[in-house]
A and B are shown apart, each in its own frame.
Chain A
Amino acid sequence: MTRDEQPATFSRRAMLKAGGALVISIGVPFAREQARADGGTTVAAAKPALTPDQLSSYLAVNADGSVNVYFGKMDMGQGLAIAIRQMVAEELDVAFASTRIFIGDTDTSVNQGGASGSTGVQEGGKQMRVAAAEAKRVLVEMASDRLGVPADQLAVTSGVVRAGNDAARTISYAQLIGGQYFNVHLDWNGKYGNALYAPGKATPKDPKSYTVVGQPIPRDDIAPKVFAEANFVTDVKVPGMVHGRMIRPPVAGAVPVKVDESSIGDIPSAKVVWDNGFLGVVADKEWSAIKAAQQLKVEWSALAPPFPDQAALYDHIRKAPTRKRDVGKETGNVDDAFKSAARVIEAEYEWPFQSHASMGPACALVDFKDGRATCWSGTQKAHFVQTGIAATLGIPQDHVRVIWTTGPGSYGRNDADDCAMDAAVLSRAVGKPVRLQYMREQGTGWDPKAPASVHQARAAIDASGNVVAYEFLSRGFSRVDVDTNGSQPKDTLAGQMRGVELKSGDGFGVPGDSYGFANKRTAWETIAPLLDRASPLRTSHMRDPVGPQIHFASESFIDELAAALAVDPVEFRLRYVKDPRDIAVIKAAAGKAGWQPRPSPRKDQTGDKVSGRGISYAQRGPTRVAVIAEVDVDRSTGKIWARRFTVAHDCGQIINPDGLHHAIENNIVQATSRTLWEEVKFDNKNVTSVDWRSYPILDVTQAPEQVDVVTIDHPDLAPSGAGEASTRPVAAAIANAVFDATGVRIRRAPFSPDNVKSALS
């Protein structure tokens, strides 16, 4: 063992002498007192700096041998916490039940990127796996010294290191390091966020020996929620806390020019907080704050209505100046190939703005006092919110602590980060802890939106019916008009409302597939936002960012090609798909669904009630998914019931099959909702989708009858994301099934009864 691998052990006196900065921080669960109680030791352990290159930033062994896992990504309810504990328990050779996980507290975890891009296991788990492997290596080395047995003759079972079967020659992790901290340096790549990687010298286990990874261990956070024992972020209370509510302009972009505080004079505790476009109220009681926000008389700046007619949205997207063009992938010579085509097939598809519309509007509690802020937030990215609050309040980042606490649902950059910043501004203004929850109309009307877009596809067919060239262009609002987190004031409403300099980012994407067309170009173009500042139609990441819209178009178009060439849609895909794992998911879905080869559409149905089936597939990073939808369509009402889904899913190594199954099922249902129902409506002045009537989502009467899931496990491959991938192919699978049933191609989402009825007529 090298010197820097010794556990850090200091007396408290020594720490205080050293400047007092090393006193064990509140919230670290095995403080000095506990160590004393458990083992009678007077030794206090100080945690090395919370930096990515320290093993102690990820793991600690308590005096009782239990293991603390410190994780810098967040679990949005898909069982990530369990998966990470499984990966750690596996590598450390401790019982799963002996692990505890501490998530998303900036005081105890490093910035591993938060919940982001389905990388919880793919990147976050990868890091925790190598950290745990290194911890085991170090512990076995320490045991080797203590037992006088070479490390390669030691084995670990449930946190006890043994030399063969000699019961006298054992030593536990608790005896080796319990209650003290690792002081082991890791080989950090210098990056924060999703890209953070800091391995040690250890090699992780051979997957063939896994006993914990791959097991369907249930979530333990469900029972406390079902018995109302768990705190959501909405439930956190601190002494002296007051309630805040925000006031948004009736015309997007308008700012208050006159605020009549006397209009809330009958609510004694209510105070107005007004800074440029930022306008909120606080009051002692929540209902008082709500009434004050409703009652406050505000005169707003006169402003030309900022938005086009909604009916002209897609024309606007087609005609607006291109802000950025990016050719994602190009092979061969596409333009020449089109010139020599025997036949060209073209189509265009449209996708609306969509809202996260989380189950509850965002909530945050910020306590700003003496130049320091503590924030409880349901954000997906606690460390970025820490940076954002520091920037918003003009204080050092290490004067801000963000404590992630389960929020009311999250699927990306929803309203959570905006809410944390608003609460910070309110707390500073009134000098008290402020709990802010948005109202429903703000949760749906003012969250960052998934971008609306238009997608143009064309294919060149030769005389023998082969696809010789393919071109696909997405054109829409940027996926990062505001960034994917609230770390900079320019990307939050609080910053934009208060007048910071803006910088809208550009990004979209291209289809994820392995179609081996000889000449192929996939590209994207972005246009400027409709309103550049504090817009209720600002756009950012929502579950599988731009995946649903792109693959609705690309996989509908592949189906159009198959139909034009009178080829079975599964057979057509298998002709061109090159990647073996892609081929495997398509075949697995078709096999499970009992797919009978024939071209679409069906021609054997008459009457109003018809049925059809459709397939779609996509890659999302290293993950690939094929989805088959079977739908019933009522031509007289335009109503679609997506009755049955068959999903084949390959995300490499499976960590927890039960968690994976739930994640897939929930993706399928939510994506069905987005496909059939969801569209943010707006008029010239503002967003008009402000509640569940004006932004309908799927209800349980429309839930599928059956969702069959086939998971393909590759224990020898790295695990890849499953949080979003199965959202991606759903819209096209449904559209292709509707075409199969009716012979009519739906090229605009959502497929609401009105839209479908008019498409069918």
Chain B
Amino acid sequence: MSQKFTLNVNGADHAVEADPDTPLLYVLRDDLGFNNPHFGCGLGQCGACTVHLDGKPVRSCARPVSDVGSQKIVTLAGLGTPDKPHPLQAAYVQEQVPQCAYCINGWIMTAAAFLRDNKKPSDEQIRGALANVKCRCGTHMAILRAVKRAAAMMG
């Protein structure tokens, strides 16, 4: 049943044993201790579990660990640190964005990939890029301010 996998998370390799159909989310959270991605729906609908696989935002709740292979995984903790924050992390703190904060992996990880590939985006482009991420507390106005602030920082 269970198989051995080597996962590269935030720049380091980790050996883990898991059933191959286990969603990456549970392996990251329960086996490797990366709490950053959250379980929101298990259906890929909300974004709370988002991580980057080779730079691309992916819903880890709906991605079996056996599909990851050698792709490099980056979680919210790997995006930046208090000493070297990603512009979105800095902007999130400056704009005081979250209420409950459970959704932030979805917004920050999705927006990070979007802003990396889209310089000086319009309001409409930002909204479109984030259309499939959920926030239940209604912090959308502050999210938009933070993404625009980060976009300005990223030139």
Q: Which residues of A contact B (CB under 8 A)?
A: 76-79, 218-219, 221-223, 225-232, 234-235, 243, 285-288, 290, 357-361, 406-410, 437, 439-440, 658, 662, 665-673, 691-693, 697-701, 703-704, 707
Contact = CB atoms under 8 A, between A and B. Distances in A.
Q: Which of B40, B48, B103 has the most CB of A within 10 A?
A: B40
Given A692-B45, A692-B46, A222 B98 contact: yes
Contact of B141 (A286, A407, A707): A707
Contact of A691 (B45, B48, B139): B45
22 contacts: A77-B99, A77-B100, A78-B99, A223-B82, A227-B82, A228-B75, A235-B35, A286-B29, A287-B21, A359-B134, A359-B137, A360-B102, A408-B40, A409-B100, A409-B137, A665-B141, A666-B142, A669-B138, A692-B41, A693-B45, A700-B135, A707-B141
A79 B101 CA distance: 12
Nearest to A356: B136
B83 to A, nearest CB: 10
Contacts of B43: 440, 691-692
Nearest to B139: A666
Given A223-B82, A357-B136, A701-B128, A408 B100 contact: yes
Q: Which of B35, B81, B96, B100 has the most CB of A within 10 A?
A: B100
Nearest to A671: B138
Shortest 8 CB-CB contacts between residues of A and residues of B: A669-B138, A670-B138, A228-B36, A703-B140, A77-B99, A228-B77, A409-B100, A235-B35
B23 A665 contact: no
Contact of B130 (A243, A285, A700): A700
B76 interface: yes
Given A77-B98, A662-B99, A700-B127, A227 B136 contact: no
Given A223-B93, A666-B137, A700-B127, 20 more contacts: A77-B137, A225-B101, A226-B76, A226-B93, A227-B77, A227-B80, A228-B35, A230-B101, A243-B30, A357-B136, A359-B48, A407-B102, A409-B137, A669-B138, A691-B45, A693-B45, A699-B131, A700-B143, A703-B141, A703-B144
Given A360-B102, A408-B100, A226 B92 contact: yes
Interface of B: 18-19, 21-23, 26, 29-30, 34-36, 38-43, 45-46, 48, 75-77, 80-82, 85, 89, 92-93, 96-104, 108, 127-128, 130-144
Contacts of A699: 131-134
Nearest to A227: B82
B139 A669 contact: yes
Given A77-B99, A287-B19, A409-B102, A692 B76 contact: no
B41 A410 contact: no
Contacts of B92: 222, 226
A291 to B, nearest CB: 8
B51 to A, nearest CB: 11
Contact of A231 (B26, B35, B130): B35
A357 B103 CA distance: 13
- Specify the main secondary structure of chain B where it touches its partner: loop
Contacts of B80: 227
A410 B99 CA distance: 10
A222 B92 CA distance: 8
A287 B152 CA distance: 41
A76 B29 CA distance: 23
A692 B47 CA distance: 11
Contacts of B136: 357-359, 409, 670, 697
A222 B40 contact: no
A669 B141 contact: yes
Contacts of B131: 699-701
B38 A701 contact: no
Nearest to A224: B82
A286 B96 contact: no
Contact of A662 (B96, B102, B134): B96
B125 to A, nearest CB: 11
A286 B104 contact: no
Nearest to B35: A235
A407 B97 CA distance: 17
B114 to A, nearest CB: 12
B21 to A, nearest CB: 8
Contact of A673 (B77, B82, B93, B138): B138
A359 B35 CA distance: 16
Contact of B137 (A223, A290, A437, A670): A670
B133 A700 contact: yes
Contacts of A665: 138-139, 141-142
A522 to B, nearest CB: 29
A671 B137 CA distance: 10
A449 to B, nearest CB: 15
B41 A287 contact: no
Given A359-B40, A360-B48, A692-B134, A77 B141 contact: no
Nearest to B19: A287
A269 B140 CA distance: 42
B30 A286 contact: yes
A691 B108 CA distance: 22
Contacts of B133: 699-700
A670 to B, nearest CB: 3
Q: Which of A359, A406, A692 has the most CB of B within 10 A?
A: A359
Contacts of A406: 100-101
A357 B138 CA distance: 13
A730 to B, nearest CB: 10
A666 B138 contact: yes
B104 A360 contact: no
A671 B135 CA distance: 13
Given A286-B26, A408-B100, A666-B99, A359 B93 contact: no
